[in-house]
Structure 1
């Protein structure tokens, strides 16, 4: 052995003299020479790698070991282990966390460090490697991660359940408010109708008497100069009589005659009347009726009155050269009547009050059109829904009482 080799061996022997101290450390320690061959190894190294000292044949850091970088999950290449880098590049590495496949086939985790050993000239003559077995910590991390994921999933599930319950409750509250609003509205309609039933006879009788005398006076030649005034009074009495008739339409116990009828046919019969209504205002009345529909069970006279009222409201909401469309369709087993105008729309506040008796936004209008429609719908097993936007208002009447046979 030459002098240089003797010096290297002397330096390594100084390290090996510390064997008793190293064995007492709570970490695995491995000392290798410049070629990477094991010069000293304690039992904790074997334990960390799941190896049996009596049968293990590994003797060099240049052999193939299986591990994965914790932070990236990538496989540790043979030349990237800390011990190899310390020998070949003179690098010092501290606290590298690596998941390993042990020699006994189990999975483990180590905290790996390595520093090069140099002679007085700075030449790398070996390396010291320390390994801490952190498998138990890794297991705890996995358990914590498992519990964390479980709790996260549980929180998400419970959040979804609570959100769904809150949404359901919100829908139920809205539906209840809507129902209560409809009940109050119908109560108002019925009250007005009952009042009208009570005083209609007392008012109509004197009006009929006055009307009769005015008609007689209109036939007198010597009263010809009063003809314009008499004609005006007769018109006003006619309007008053029509208002009384409208009041009676609101009565809860108003009798009607429901029977199977073809909704599209009623609209077809009314189109000439509705078109005249549109012509007066220079508006277009259009129909889009379904070719085949189940018959609805309703009073045809009342349905005609409701269509007329809805059409009048739509026309009054539009300007000239705009179109009112009447549609019929079958949806979810229900027959729908849809009246759509091209007006400016109405606000939510006005829409909510649309069925209230005497509420109106128009001059010279008693505000009974929509209340009459709601009363007719109620008596004929139908619901009314109003949707509005700046491009117009759509009134949809859904008939629940239908006959299976088609017209």
Structure 2
């Protein structure tokens, strides 16, 4: 006995009983005659189903009559024919008759998963479920729950095969429990094999009709677009003869009707030069298969006038990929060409004007540079004159006042020294300890006043340097030994012994270093780092002295070398002015770089050769 998927134990027992009963009745001549009659009826129904299916390609006309014939062979309360898309996992009902199931309609697409159809696809065999209790199937076939709830107790799903491919199913349903026997299953499978081919052919026919309709609509849209676009469109055979043109192409070439252009060779619409260019274009496109886009060409209209056209051409091939001609688009760009020519002329004129303006601008720039240079010289001369007048006044003041101030300061200093000696261990010092403190203050102020007088005298006495070869490192060491640095200031001397000698006045350059080092020390009252470095340049020996002090603001840095300019409470602003004067007399320079809060770097540049 052939076993079917989904058959319950009860239905198997029923098949067994029916089969036994059939065998017992086999010996009866009457029953045997009934069997022959039934087989004859089955064959007649099968023949009628075959005739119905072969009578038309319209499968919609077949379903109803097919269902009527099937009912003669197999009892059912509901019949469904569907198609299955295994790849997409979907099912679509093509035909339904009999009692309805809520939510199922012809043409509706629903999931394959969880249905009896899914098991049918998996096993590629008929699925038969006959039961009074669906609980054992509801988890396995949740999609069949609505069928069972509609009252159906016998469910048969028969696969439809076409050329070995499962394309759908024939679904029979009955309210009667255990309604279908093994014989019914065999009959259903015979019936399904007949309808499957018809459905496959109908699907192919429908697909072909859809494809033909899509092609027809596509061609219609294609032709409509060609007629409505403003650009010209043309097709040529391999000889270059027009086989199709749209109205826009006719307008571009000046022909009233398409018939005048069809069959005409493209060379008739081009001059000799343009015809050669077109022949070369067509040969290149035919040889490479690559299209040409946006190629400008001069063509000849029917009335002989010239027209500029921007053309794009590609190769046409048949379904086997064999070249059969060319297709292309064209656009009248005559007006654009005229505008380009006018624009080019305007551009040329503008370019000439620009060149003239540029020449004038160069002349003005040269004149301006000359004026700036002259103004710079004039300013420098004026600054030098002012500086010279300042220096002369300072020198005269220093020479007249210096000695007059130094003599009384010397007397005061000696008196303080004498008083300090008498008071130091006296009763007065014990009773009034601040007496000695005030004597120290007087002494410090006398020294400060003497420093100012010395600066004035030194400034007024700076003369022509007496130069001789010297090692700059030794001069710096001499300057450092002249000063006493607080413990909270770290001095780093990076001057190397291998630096070349320079011809300098040792005393004057030492004074320059002393003044710069003194300023650096005063810029770091809370301590910091003072670094001395040097290097040999192309024409100068450079010595850089940097500190980590408060730095110099932008509005002050340009005045630091001016005589009598100072930002400190003590001093009269001559130290850096003396440095600048000495460096100028040596043919060198002194520069400063600083930002507020970032310290300062003073760079002294001494020439490597004597002036």
Superposed, 1:11-90 pairs within 5 Å as 33=259, 36-38=262-264, 48-49=271-272, 64-65=278-279
CA distance in 1, matches of 2:336, 2:407: 103
Match of 1:194 in 2: 396
The one-character-per-residue Cα deviations of 1:252-302 (angstroms, maximum 9, x if unpaired) are 65465332222122113344555x4142xx011111214433322222122
The structure having more radius of gyration, on CA atoms, is 2
Shift of 1:220: 6.6
Match of 1:277 in 2: 485
Match of 2:475 in 1: 266
CA distance in 2, matches of 1:403, 1:168: 32
Contact 1:189 1:375 in 2 (8 A): no
CA distance in 2, matches of 1:366, 1:112: 84
* 2:576 maps to 1:370: yes
Contact 1:29 1:130 in 2 (8 A): no
Q: Give secondary structure in 2 for the equivalent of 1:329.
A: strand
Larger relative contact order, structure 1 or 2 (CA cutoff 8 Å, min sep 6): 1
CA distance in 1, matches of 2:462, 2:498: 33
Shift of 1:146: 6.8
CA distance in 1, matches of 2:473, 2:524: 24
Match of 1:99 in 2: 297
Q: Give secondary structure in 1 for the equivalent of 2:398.
A: helix
Shift of 1:98: 2.5
**Change in CA separation of 1:347 and 1:130 when aligned onto 2, cut-off 3 Å:** closer
CA distance in 2, matches of 1:259, 1:40: 96
RMSD, aligned α-carbons: 5.3
Match of 1:339 in 2: 545
Match of 2:533 in 1: 327
**Change in CA separation of 1:150 and 1:291 when aligned onto 2, cut-off 3 Å:** farther
Superposed, 1:289-368 pairs within 5 Å as 289-368=495-574
Shift of 1:325: 0.9
2:355 to 146, 154, 176: 154
Report the count of equivalent residues: 326
* 2:607 maps to 1:400: yes
CA distance in 2, matches of 1:130, 1:204: 102
1:247 to 435, 439, 456: 456
Q: Give secondary structure in 1 for the equivalent of 2:466.
A: coil
Contact 2:539 2:608 in 1 (8 A): no
**Change in CA separation of 1:98 and 1:40 when aligned onto 2, cut-off 3 Å:** closer
**Change in CA separation of 1:183 and 1:349 when aligned onto 2, cut-off 3 Å:** farther
Shift of 1:250: 1.6
Contact 2:535 2:542 in 1 (8 A): yes
- In structure 2, stretches of 5+ residues that fail to align are 1-252, 301-305, 312-329, 430-434
State TM-score, norm by structure 2. Answer: 0.42
CA distance in 2, matches of 1:130, 1:283: 84
**Change in CA separation of 1:99 and 1:322 when aligned onto 2, cut-off 3 Å:** farther
**Change in CA separation of 1:260 and 1:191 when aligned onto 2, cut-off 3 Å:** farther
Contact 1:295 1:403 in 2 (8 A): no
The one-character-per-residue Cα deviations of 1:332-379 (angstroms, maximum 9, x if unpaired) are 211112111112321122112212333322223333322222232233
The one-character-per-residue Cα deviations of 1:50-80 (angstroms, maximum 9, x if unpaired) are 59xxxx9x9xxxx954579xxxxx99x9999
Contact 1:248 1:254 in 2 (8 A): no
Contact 1:383 1:398 in 2 (8 A): yes
Shift of 1:36: 3.3
CA distance in 1, matches of 2:502, 2:572: 30
CA distance in 2, matches of 1:308, 1:221: 36
Contact 2:478 2:510 in 1 (8 A): no
CA distance in 1, matches of 2:350, 2:256: 38
**Change in CA separation of 1:201 and 1:365 when aligned onto 2, cut-off 3 Å:** closer
**Change in CA separation of 1:311 and 1:101 when aligned onto 2, cut-off 3 Å:** farther
- In structure 1, stretches of 5+ residues that fail to align are 1-26, 69-73, 82-95, 103-107, 114-128
